[in-house]
Structure 1
């Protein structure tokens, strides 16, 4: 058993001990607890730190550790806020993908990979190295990001370009993950009350950012090739919009990939309408069949594409970094817009990312990640086919982290998700992913956070819910 799980076990035992004793009671010494629970003193100290964090005990240097007094919560009347705040059009529904459930729940709702899929050894080595640099620990970062990390994002995109002027670090802003880049882009490129064009269904976080900025979302339907460029042209013209948000590669939640001819025709529409595409390339590292097509930004010569390249899913949710690439006045506006919510990304976070990306093990990690994601995709599909043949996986994704599943007629996604959770399975109802009227016959099942050994149980639960 590792130290972390041992500390959690000891903390659990002590919680039971604390419940039976009054506030102010003194806990046994570290030496006595170590002997009683057959662990080392360091593990005992780690357990006590967990209890301090929970507010259950307090330490008094030189005296000991004592049960903390229970604070009586006073009733709080916040009803006045309803009148003070008034009407709101803010997207205030928490997406199922960011909710936290009990550890024993099978989590097919979240879009974050489990720690076992991430480069733990590379991260630990980088953190130890960077933590020894006092300048990194004590300094602010340049507003647009560390030059080394900006240069990495520039090279990553420039290496996929087929012509035109190159990308360099002056075209890049480092942000705290893709969501931050997306929010800053929408604030900069569209004014409150204006319309933006989005795919339907689309990423939940993009809808939240648009709503928070007071933007109207105009949906265009997905097709087998991605979208119909004629629909985009018509929507831009009809609504006077100049911004189109899309995920052309492994779209969340459907897994769709735009075909080459759609990519080319979309660029023509953008040029003709003098419009911007905010290209969210969130899953560039998460392919597991053929390597993905180059980003649309790689073919952009005149600054129509604002490109967002996130590393959160392949590196670590704890090291949230993304690169935003833009050119011209749009870049300057985005840079100014971003300062509203974040002045800079901590240099410690950025330098850890730089060290991991420069390590020879990074590419080996990405290859291993892709193999494991493919195994999980295939196993979840197989178990759904076995236990719930009446559901339909609309397409076999070639990248990303989830399956988009159509329910049989007569079943509603929100009700299915609610019932599944009572039986220990968390899934994401498809209604959350539609910008206008929800189509309540889909669920998203992510295979990123839960090992494939639990997919049999997950499929069986879904089968029971649909009976």
Structure 2
């Protein structure tokens, strides 16, 4: 999808549609817009260039008449691969052939749109799963950096599994959760996503399958699917994944492993109960089913801490435990970790060395300082208070504007409110309508194809004022679609 910082010159005697036509041609002749490049919809282009839609239609019609663009109902308007070379000073290769040949599957169009729209000026991000810049610990980070500046530090590579100081600090912290993990069984990764990618290519063979909760954040990515691994969803209730259904499934299939977010689940916010955790671990041991426990939201409890991790009950070494600083301290720090049997960690560390030769040594030094000082715990106390206030604000707004239009349950921690529309309208259609009105949503269908009437809302990113405007605007859009 194209974005532009260029604007037509309204003081120029050249008509606006001609300026836009020439701008498009310049992008083509420079090679920036190669054959197959998709052109945004007319409404988006009109907003992008701040012109009437008729101006865009005139420019596009001229480019189509010249054989430079073509359009169809399913794929939108694209740069033509045949006559386009006539514009260029030298024949240009068709990069589109290489793009489609790549093994990594692209995100769904909705996910790509979300990723791009998050950076549009003035957009209200009602579904973003990260902390607002106002909640990031800038002052504390500056103090940590000042302290590090007085020490000798390395700017070279760390050892394969990561900084020993950081792994020792993580080992101590996990011991407080009931997890016994020596530094040699911990691998530092560039965020939890990299841990999942390493598992997908390092431990699973093509044609295998992974059990996930339905819905699941993992469905919004293509990490496992690109590795030829299928995702199979299991239903949840208010206590988490229904283990009885998992036991029945194991009788008829041999899934390779299970992926779960037991604490403040993404996208539903559910916390797996103590009893359900014991039940799941018992099944894992009985069936020899490995489990990936994604615990990145654990420290974001707002009412009370969640039950101990699955890994704390793991006497058989069946659980790979994943943590991260991205949700609690800084998404830009790009530091996560994974712990499990040493042979597994050795395997994943070897693959990571082949991939990026280790996570940032500078970021690891910062993370180690956070954990070995009081900065992390003090920050979490402040952050929980701020998130409680945001959660209460969203709860009041939902009660005021969406009672009767939707159903929801406020989470006890994490970021997310899983909202079900009562009106029968499509969350995907609502997403598109909201985006045109400057409101960015996360429709439930990206987490499970059967969740077309759900939205994932977040109180962690938008400001109090943006939450108020966004929820009120969302309610207005729902009512207008119901009447349509």
TM above 0.5, yes or no, is: yes
Q: How much has 1:359 moved relative to structure 2?
A: 2.6
Q: How much has 1:360 moved relative to structure 2?
A: 2.0
3-state SS, counterpart of residue 285 of structure 1: helix
Q: Deviations along 1:290-346, whole A, 9 cap, x unmatched?
A: 111111101111210000011111111111111101114322332233334332111
Give the distance between the partners of 1:159 and 1:201, measured in 2 at CA.
30
Q: Does 1:108 align with 2:126?
A: yes
Cα contact 2:186–2:337 (8 A) shared by 1: yes
In the other structure, the counterpart of 1:196 is 210
Q: How much has 1:187 moved relative to structure 2?
A: 2.4
Cα contact 1:204–1:433 (8 A) shared by 2: yes
Give the distance between the partners of 1:385 and 1:293, measured in 2 at CA.
29
Q: Does 1:379 align with 2:393?
A: yes
In the other structure, the counterpart of 2:469 is 457
Q: How much has 1:113 moved relative to structure 2?
A: 0.5
In the other structure, the counterpart of 2:34 is 76
3-state SS, counterpart of residue 355 of structure 2: coil
Q: How much has 1:216 moved relative to structure 2?
A: 0.7
In the other structure, the counterpart of 1:264 is 278
In the other structure, the counterpart of 1:125 is 143
Give the distance between the partners of 2:227 and 2:281, measured in 1 at CA.
26
- The two structures have a TM-score, normalised by structure 2, of 0.76
3-state SS, counterpart of residue 144 of structure 1: coil
Q: How much has 1:397 moved relative to structure 2?
A: 0.5
Cα contact 1:174–1:324 (8 A) shared by 2: yes
Superposition pairs of residues 175-254 of structure 1, within 5 angstroms: 175-204=189-218, 207-254=221-268
Cα contact 2:270–2:411 (8 A) shared by 1: yes
3-state SS, counterpart of residue 318 of structure 1: helix
Q: Compared with structure 1, are the counterparts of its residues 114 and 406 closer, same or farther at alpha carbon in structure 2 (3 Å cutoff)?
A: same
Cα contact 1:390–1:407 (8 A) shared by 2: no
Q: CA RMSD in A?
A: 2.8
Give the distance between the partners of 2:371 and 2:35, measured in 1 at CA.
50
Tell me the number of residue pairs that the alignment of Structure 1 and Structure 2 aligns: 400
Superposition pairs of residues 393-412 of structure 1, within 5 angstroms: 393-412=407-426
3-state SS, counterpart of residue 357 of structure 2: coil
Give the distance between the partners of 1:398 and 1:322, measured in 2 at CA.
24
In the other structure, the counterpart of 1:160 is 177
Structure 2: 5+ residue runs without aligned partners? 13-26, 37-80, 82-93, 480-484
Cα contact 1:413–1:442 (8 A) shared by 2: yes
Alignment partner for residue 423 of structure 1, among 437, 444, 456? Answer: 437
Q: How much has 1:418 moved relative to structure 2?
A: 1.1
In the other structure, the counterpart of 2:454 is 442
In the other structure, the counterpart of 2:168 is 151
Cα contact 1:197–1:235 (8 A) shared by 2: no
Give the distance between the partners of 2:312 and 2:106, measured in 1 at CA.
32
Q: Compared with structure 1, are the counterparts of its residues 238 and 337 closer, same or farther at alpha carbon in structure 2 (3 Å cutoff)?
A: farther
Cα contact 2:261–2:294 (8 A) shared by 1: yes
Give the distance between the partners of 2:245 and 2:221, measured in 1 at CA.
20
Alignment partner for residue 105 of structure 2, among 68, 80, 90? Answer: 90
In the other structure, the counterpart of 2:184 is 170
Alignment partner for residue 327 of structure 2, among 296, 310, 313? Answer: 313
Q: Compared with structure 1, are the counterparts of its residues 155 and 457 closer, same or farther at alpha carbon in structure 2 (3 Å cutoff)?
A: same
Give the distance between the partners of 1:318 and 1:88, measured in 2 at CA.
27
Give the distance between the partners of 2:402 and 2:285, measured in 1 at CA.
46
3-state SS, counterpart of residue 111 of structure 1: coil
Give the distance between the partners of 1:318 and 1:351, measured in 2 at CA.
14
3-state SS, counterpart of residue 306 of structure 1: strand
- The two structures have a TM-score, normalised by structure 1, of 0.79
Q: Which moved more, 1:445-454 or 1:326-335?
A: 326-335
Q: Compared with structure 1, are the counterparts of its residues 195 and 159 closer, same or farther at alpha carbon in structure 2 (3 Å cutoff)?
A: same
Cα contact 2:206–2:229 (8 A) shared by 1: yes
In the other structure, the counterpart of 1:9 is none
Give the distance between the partners of 1:416 and 1:212, measured in 2 at CA.
29
Alignment partner for residue 283 of structure 1, among 289, 297, 308? Answer: 297
3-state SS, counterpart of residue 390 of structure 2: helix
Cα contact 2:401–2:472 (8 A) shared by 1: yes
Give the distance between the partners of 1:406 and 1:71, measured in 2 at CA.
44
Q: How much has 1:20 moved relative to structure 2?
A: 9.4
Give the distance between the partners of 1:89 and 1:197, measured in 2 at CA.
21
3-state SS, counterpart of residue 116 of structure 1: helix
